[in-house]
Amino acid sequence: MGCVVSTTTICEGGKRRRWPRNIGEVAVFVPGMRIPKGVAFLFQSSFNGNNKLPKTQVENLSNMRAKIVAMASQVTPHAMKPRRRKATQQDIYLGGSVFSDLLQALENYLSVLLGLITEGSELVDKVEFVWVNQEDGSEETKIANGWYEVLSVLHLMAMLCLSEANLLLLSRPSTKYGFHVKIIEVKAAGYLDCALKHVLPKISPQVRRDLPIDLTEEVLAALCAQALGQGVDLQLWMAIDSPKATLAVKRRLACEMVKYYQQAYDNIMKFSLNDGWGAKHQLFAKWKYFEAKAVAYYYHGMVLYGGKTEKSREMAIASLQATEQFSMKSKKANEAFNKMPPISRNPSPWGSMKYLSEKISKEISVEIHINEDHSDEERFIQNEPLLPDFNPALKPEEYHLPSLDPLWTKEDKYQYKT
């Protein structure tokens, strides 16, 4: 059974930590960078009776966590630093290096941490773990539950991947980097998928009620779908850049992207959030969902234009009208997202919208205005054309929790088990 305590977060010297009011350009939104709280949270060296931990493992756990605390405190400002210029090759190398170094440290820590929560262990709720959300920065969460620590670690690993993806897209918005960024996005989705399927179910309903909003099932599912949606967007971008990809292939990818962004939108909108990073996350999901629908309707319309019947042409016009409508709704959501504190701005166009924005201004508007029936927006929403139903092919990269550290399996270390 775990317990939770929320307190005001302060930095060294007793001053409240201040985070940027302007985060600059955003390609991949990272809504919550949670890091473990400082050196004060060293693991206890002993427990009552049979629950005593071997000294070597206490030191190992303490040292590894202390290292992660130090590394995370350096990585977070780098991830949150406003982007006012294009990153250099050195920025990309250093950024990728810090993220990958911390990811490896977290992976190593997990193999040792799992010794506290293996089946039969009585140590699951004997250590109080503390994490703080660096973006909102006003509260920290203390929960005495080992699975909460595992969940927090996986969440941080996913956020590091999304931060690296954001850095790469802001630095080199081209299809050359698109494939690499897609791999990073799918990796992030893998960590979140593992958290949803294999870690969250291990936490009791009572403890789950104490979890911060960042670790709730809905937010984790929204982030997982968001990462996959962005991955499909990158696939579509590469397809657009390839002369071999047909309109049917592009339409399928666009429709798959809609499905993932709808999942992200539906999950994050289950919360009532009026301001802060949570509300900004909701606006990001809304913006991307509308944007994806605009792209999907465009390619659906282009495919239908190839039909020879009057009916297919009418459906094509309706789809292009939907493209224009959702494009306008997407722009409004994007403006609201950028205005919501912390203030942000759009990077150079990338992905499918880089292509579609040109098409909307040059081709779609002309075609729509020639054929439109001047119906109002409410009528359009009620009669929104149906998109083809495709099952998304892109899946999270399968991630398994690491093997238990060998030190836990030695015969003389079994004193901590029941």
* pLDDT tens-digit series, residues 368-389: 554 555 444 444 445 688 999 9
User: What amino acid occupies position 115?
Assistant: G
End-to-end CA distance of the chain: 17
Residue 401 token pair: 């929790």
| Extended strands (E) in 87-198 | 129-133, 139-143
Confidence band for 336, pLDDT divided at 50, 70 and 90 = very high
Verify cis geometry, omega within 30 degrees of 0, for the bond prior to 54: no
Is 161 within 8 Å of 187 (Cβ atoms)? Answer: yes
Q: For position 20, what pLDDT does the model report?
A: 60
Least confident of 75-79, 139-143, 290-294: 75-79
The position carrying tokens 């590091």 is: 160
The residues near 42 (Cβ < 8 Å, ≥ 6 apart) are: 62, 65, 66
Nearest-angstrom CA–CA distance, 265 and 402: 31
DSSP assignment of 160-179: HHHHHHHHHHHH--SHHHHH
Least confident of 11-20, 68-77, 205-214: 11-20
Q: What confidence tens digit (pLDDT) does each residue in 90-133 have?
A: 444 444 578 889 999 999 999 989 988 887 677 788 788 999 88
Nearest-angstrom CA–CA distance, 300 and 294: 10
Nearest-angstrom CA–CA distance, 202 and 23: 36
Tell whether the model's pLDDT for residue 302 goes beyond 80.
yes
What value does the mean pLDDT take over residues 125-149?
Answer: 83
User: What amino acid occupies position 342?
Assistant: P
DSSP assignment of 284-321: HHHHHHHHHHHHHHHHHHHHHTT--SHHHHHHHHHHHH
Nearest-angstrom CA–CA distance, 263 and 281: 14
Quick count: other Cβ atoms within 10 Å of Cβ 382? Answer: 8
**Mean pLDDT for all residues in the chain:** 80
DSSP state of 200: G
Q: What confidence tens digit (pLDDT) does each residue in 218-266 have?
A: 999 999 999 999 999 999 999 998 999 999 999 999 999 999 999 999 9
Task: Report CA dihedral (285, 264, 391, 257) to the nearest 10 degrees.
Answer: 20
Q: For position 364, what pLDDT does the model report?
A: 59
Q: For position 393, what pLDDT does the model report?
A: 96
Tell whether the model's pLDDT for residue 31 goes beyond 80.
yes
Tell whether the model's pLDDT for residue 418 goes beyond 50.
no
Is 386 within 8 Å of 65 (Cβ atoms)? Answer: no
The position carrying tokens 């099952």 is: 391
Q: For position 379, what pLDDT does the model report?
A: 47
Nearest-angstrom CA–CA distance, 174 and 355: 12
Highest-pLDDT range among 83-97, 149-163, 400-414: 149-163
CATH T-level fold of 17-408: 1.25.40
Quick count: other Cβ atoms within 10 Å of Cβ 15? Answer: 8
Q: What confidence tens digit (pLDDT) does each residue in 344-374 have?
A: 998 877 778 877 777 666 665 555 554 555 4
Q: For position 361, what pLDDT does the model report?
A: 60
Of 358, 347, 354, which Cα lies nearest the Cα of 165?
A: 347
Q: CA neighbours within 13 Å on the CB side: how many for 34?
A: 26
What are the backbone dihedrals phi and psi of residue 90, each rounded to the nearest 5 degrees, phi first?
Answer: -65, -40
Q: For position 58, what pLDDT does the model report?
A: 73
Q: For position 352, what pLDDT does the model report?
A: 81
The position carrying tokens 């060294």 is: 12
Residue ranges per domain, the chain? 17-408
What are the backbone dihedrals phi and psi of residue 344, each rounded to the nearest 5 degrees, phi first?
Answer: -140, 175
CA geometry: angle 342, 347, 353, nearest 5 deg: 120
Residue 332 token pair: 């409004």
Q: What confidence tens digit (pLDDT) does each residue in 311-334 have?
A: 888 898 899 889 989 999 999 999
Is 45 within 8 Å of 60 (Cβ atoms)? Answer: no
